[in-house]
Amino acid sequence: MTEATASIEIDRAWCKCCYLCISVCPADVYARSDYIGERGVAVPLVARPEKCVRCGLCELMCPDMAVTVRDKTDKPRKKSGG
């Protein structure tokens, strides 16, 4: 198995389970899960992080800014609340 080069985080408190991240991912990184988040919906699962090509489409398309993708060597970015 190939080691993941990207760190992908889904903020479970912000995710509303629209599954846009799943639909736009060209590398099939995400999957549906059974985990119910704070909003009462099934939060997507980062099932295959080693396949991530770090295109950032999932992060750009997320209407709730719940997805963060970065290189494993990058430091976390702070999200701005609004």
pTM of the predicted protein model = 0.77
| pLDDT value, residue 71 | 82
Residue 79 clears pLDDT 60, i.e. is over it: no
Q: Is 60 helix (H, G, I), strand (E, B) or coil?
A: helix
For residues 14 and 34, give the distance between their C-alpha atoms in angstroms, rounded to a whole number.
17
DSSP letter for each residue of 7-53: EEEE-TTT-----HHHHH-TT--EE--S-B-TTSSB--EE--GGG--
Tell me which residue has tokens 């209407």: 63
> What is the C-alpha to C-alpha distance for residues 64 and 71, in angstroms, rounded to an integer?
21
Tell me what the mean pLDDT of segment 60-79 comes to. 80
Q: Which has more pLDDT, 4 or 8?
A: 8
The architecture in CATH of the region 6-71 reads 2-Layer Sandwich (3.30)
Mean of pLDDT values over 69-81: 66
